[in-house]
Structure 1
Amino acid sequence: MRYPDIPLPPVAGGFILSRQLNRDEPWLAVSHFDPQNYHDALFDAWGIPLPPRLQQVVSKRRAEYLASRYLVRSVMAELGIADFILTNAPDRSPCWPAGVQASLSHSNDLVVLTVSRQPYALGVDVEQVMSERTAEEMADMLMNQQEQQRLQTLPMRFSAAATLLFSLKESLYKALWPRLHQPMEFHQAELVSVDTAQQRAILRLTQPFRADYPAGTLLHAEYLWHENRVITRIVHRHESG
């Protein structure tokens, strides 16, 4: 997985700072934005509806929503789907166009999107590296003893390794949700291996989820570091319909 390097057209006004795309399959796109330059009038100016549930939330949340929807619309246009507006189902999951698999994440001033027309289970996540204290406090909830031992052998701070694991499991949850429509706990998947040279990892389900996701199913992931963040992605081809 490469960090996107193809620039999309610039956006005037200072809110969207940059948008970049990587057309390697599956596509990966990122958008940097400046929350300080956000204002509500941009929703009307860009023709993106502001949902009623977001009208009373803090402006930072509205800025994240607008930046993510703007990136989605831009990338869908690159796929030949014009004027697409991403909405949410009652369970808050995104409603993608027919025949399109995608996943979306954001962290502070960065939005990340992955998209494909192939029959993949796709999940993407971006996380700011957590503090050492947070990593230690989350360890029991996030990982089993074998995973903790595995993370401690990696050539990185434990906080970075724990953030990587957290993000990998978030990507896994997002990848499987469109098929399973059920929540997952952190311990229902475990980290099997991490290849830091290739920036790849393998996760294994520790319990069955439907007939097509039995316990022991291996899911392959990739990741990359950008500044003080990690971006992770699960790309899993469905074996059945």
Structure 2
Amino acid sequence: MRYPDLPLPPSTGGFILSGHLNRSEPLLAVSHFDPQKYRDALAAESGIPLPARLQQAVRKRRAEYLASRLLVRSVMAELGIPDFILTNAPDRSPCWPAGVQASLSHSGGVVVVAATRQPWAVGVDVEQVMPETTAQETAELLMSEQEQELLRTLPISFSAAATLLFSLKESLYKALWPQLHQPMDFLDAALVSADFAQQRATLQLTQDFGGRFTSGTLLEAGFMWRDTQVITLITHRL
């Protein structure tokens, strides 16, 4: 998994600090933004009006919305869909164009988008490394005893390993939701391997969701670190 390195056109106003993509399969893009430089006027100038539900939201939330929609618009243009504005279904899931499988995540001033026209389930996530106390306090919620043992063998701190696991399971949930429309518990899938040299991981479903996603199904993931952030990506051919 390679960090995006092809620059996207710069944005005016200083709100978007940088944007890059990889023309890979799936296409992967990342942007950095400064929430403190967000202004509502930027949304209007960009042709991406804030929905009513965000009119009174905190500034950080409005900044995340605009930054994510700007990156999605750039990614969809790469796929031949210009001027696309991402909206949400009543369950808050994103409404992607017909024939496109995609996923979006944002955290700590970073937005990541993965998209493809291939018949794949796609899930992407970005997370800030959690504090060690949080990792210890949430271990039983996030992972089985076997997963805890595996995480402690990885060449990173336990808090970083727990963040990686959390992000992988978030990517898995995002990949499967459009296929299943069923909630998932963190223990409904287990991390069975993580290769830091290849930046690859494998998860296995521990719950039977039927169809293509029965208990025991293996799903492959990629991951990469950037400063104190981890990005994870799951693709699964349908």
Which bracket does the TM-score occupy, shorter chain normalised? over 0.9
2:157 corresponds in structure 1 to 157
1:74 corresponds in structure 2 to 74
- Kindly report the root-mean-square deviation, in angstroms, between the aligned alpha carbons of the 2 structures: 0.6
1:88 corresponds in structure 2 to 88
1:114 corresponds in structure 2 to 114
1:31 corresponds in structure 2 to 31
Q: How much has 1:151 moved relative to structure 2?
A: 0.4
The TM-score, its normalising length taken from structure 2, stands at: 0.99
2:51 corresponds in structure 1 to 51
Q: How much has 1:80 moved relative to structure 2?
A: 1.1
1:100 matches 2:100: yes
2:214 corresponds in structure 1 to 214
1:2 corresponds in structure 2 to 2
Q: How much has 1:56 moved relative to structure 2?
A: 1.3
1:201 corresponds in structure 2 to 201
CA distance in 2, matches of 1:47, 1:79: 20
1:168 corresponds in structure 2 to 168
Q: How much has 1:207 moved relative to structure 2?
A: 1.0
CA distance in 1, matches of 2:182, 2:211: 14
Q: Where does the alignment leave 5 or more consecutive residues of structure 1 unmatched?
A: none
The amino acid that maps onto 2:114 is T
Q: How much has 1:211 moved relative to structure 2?
A: 2.0
Residue-by-residue CA offset, 1:73-111 (whole Å, 9 max, x unaligned): 111111110110000000000000010010000011100
Q: How much has 1:49 moved relative to structure 2?
A: 2.0
Spell out structure 1 runs of 4+ moving beyond 3 A: none
CA distance in 1, matches of 2:113, 2:100: 13
1:187 corresponds in structure 2 to 187
Q: How much has 1:157 moved relative to structure 2?
A: 0.2
CA distance in 1, matches of 2:28, 2:211: 30
For 1:2, what is the secondary structure of its paired residue? coil
Q: Where does the alignment leave 5 or more consecutive residues of structure 2 unmatched?
A: none
1:124 corresponds in structure 2 to 124
The TM-score, its normalising length taken from structure 1, stands at: 0.98
Q: How much has 1:42 moved relative to structure 2?
A: 1.0
Give the paired residue count: 238
For 1:183, what is the secondary structure of its paired residue? coil
CA distance in 1, matches of 2:78, 2:119: 19
Residue-by-residue CA offset, 1:178-214 (whole Å, 9 max, x unaligned): 0100110000000111111101000000011122211
CA distance in 2, matches of 1:41, 1:172: 36
For 2:18, what is the secondary structure of its paired residue? strand
The amino acid that maps onto 2:4 is P
CA distance in 1, matches of 2:51, 2:138: 33
The amino acid that maps onto 1:164 is L
CA distance in 1, matches of 2:236, 2:176: 9
Percent identical residues: 72
